[in-house]
Structure 1
């Protein structure tokens, strides 16, 4: 494992230090204005897939601009959505209607990768990432809110839940990465790494085949945005900070938790659910049939129903 991490770090270092023939821009994620414009155009097209009325807001934080997609009744209970790596908040389009019916949804773009949040300065530590999210929660005066995290967003959601001064009421983890155990099927999961390092449509298809049970059913507009995120944006080292949470950290989670994984998930296996049930006192788990790591897209209706019922 240590050797694998070292190789990934070298690849990240290589990519982040690479140069471009186009004029550079002073930004953490994109190398050129053209690349940023192309990506943001694809983002806006994907956001049109959102199934309910929404608004976009940008708020200033100590670490840069936070971009949030907001939907649902103004006076409803708040729920925060944290997306997976390179997926951006637009990934929630299949779930937006169900989640927005009885909740005020706040979908936050992570600021160290492709999306509309923008980092100022250097890469953030785990503690700084926690502080960044808490600034957003304080800005919206979120109290006793629910939080849903997918993949790496699930790891961040768990990290936020184990903090002392949290205001989180319920936690939903959708195939959380590096949360209960390390990556289950490293060989298949590595397709995402090669897509990032050497992006082309063939590698995109291999990645989707590995991560989705129904890759051909993924909306082509969103698929293009996901591809451009890998093609144009720099890799960030935040996932190198991610390690499975300790027994004591998991035991400290006393709020209700729902953990969902796909039956063909390359990131998690039943071992993840066993560990969740063993150490989290108030935990429900389920394996969703005919779904991969992209379980909220592969089986959106079933996932939506389970989440909505859990959050009632």
Structure 2
């Protein structure tokens, strides 16, 4: 897969990466930009916080990159060595590789990333697609995951398709239609500061279209580490009630939080997650 294959045009790819680098220049705390060689291609990681602090690995959602954590990293990096990883196959600076979901390919990739960073064991925080990958990794490599935080995770509750159809139907109506579609999918308010970035991504980026594999109850029961799951009551992409129900049944020690009136895009949980990570 060539770098432009996950984008609609080369110009669109260039604009997304230019905007991304501009935002990284405004990263709110001192940081390092690390490039790691893996079997899936190069992986880009933004590392913040004291070198001797306990490590926390962040995995963002589909159609996003590490900038989704800019509102959290100031608080988290006071206490942790925060490693924000650009997922492969997404609109960041990592390789465009998209190994199949539901296999051990992403776990092996993350092994390589953590090994290169010198991280033997870490807390892992994942959102949406990153939540699926985080949960999958924790079930396959429990010895490497100290704590697990899942924000609107994929792979547990049923994936909804109606809202995606609606977004496709709105695309021909130009920027206004695309904005309505993005807001419907992500549950983002019209005045959200990151709405423009999300619209830019979905204008030029080709997101994954395959259905997310569901982790079975047997697999979920392997999550023996302290686990926090936060979902939005009005998630238009995933069955959040189903996610909460399945986690409570299969991972009874987990803390499950359902945010009333909140959609797929979960913000404002910086202190909640920090408190859990520090417990």
1:195-214 matched pairs, under 5 angstroms: 200-211=174-185
Measured on the aligned residues, the alpha-carbon RMSD in Å equals 2.5
The whole-number CA distance in structure 2 between the counterparts of 1:198 and 1:110 is 29
For 1:264 and 1:48, the matched residues in 2 are separated by 34
CA distance in 2 between counterparts of 1:199 and 1:42 reads 24
Cα-to-partner distance string for 1:162-188 (whole Å, 9 max, x where unaligned):
1046400110000112x222125x433
Q: Which residue of 1 aligns with 2:206?
A: 234
Residue 232 (structure 2) aligns with: 262
State whether residues 181 and 272 of structure 1, in contact with CA within 8 Å, keep that contact through their aligned partners in structure 2.
yes
Q: Secondary structure at the match of 2:244?
A: helix
Residue 75 (structure 1) shift: 1.1
| 1:199/1:101 CA distance change after superposition, 3 Å | farther
Question: What are the within-5 Å matches in structure 2 for residues 1-312 of structure 1?
Answer: 27-30=4-7, 32-119=9-96, 123-125=98-100, 126-164=103-141, 166-177=143-154, 179-184=155-160, 186-191=161-166, 200-211=174-185, 215-219=189-193, 222-236=194-208, 239-240=210-211, 242-266=212-236, 267-296=238-267, 300=268, 303-312=269-278
Distance 1:58 1:46, change over 3 A: same
TM-score under structure 2 normalisation?
0.88
TM-score by length of 1: 0.79
CA displacement, residues 213-262 of structure 1 (integer Å, 9 cap, x when unaligned): 5512321xx3333222222223335x43x222111101111111100011
**Can you give the 5+ residue segments of structure 2 that lack an aligned partner in the other structure?**
none
Distance 1:63 1:306, change over 3 A: same
Give distance in 1, aligned partners of 2:186 and 2:7. Answer: 27
- Confirm or deny: 8 A CA contact 1:65 1:119 kept in the other structure: no
Preserved CA contact (<8 Å) 1:146 1:169 = yes
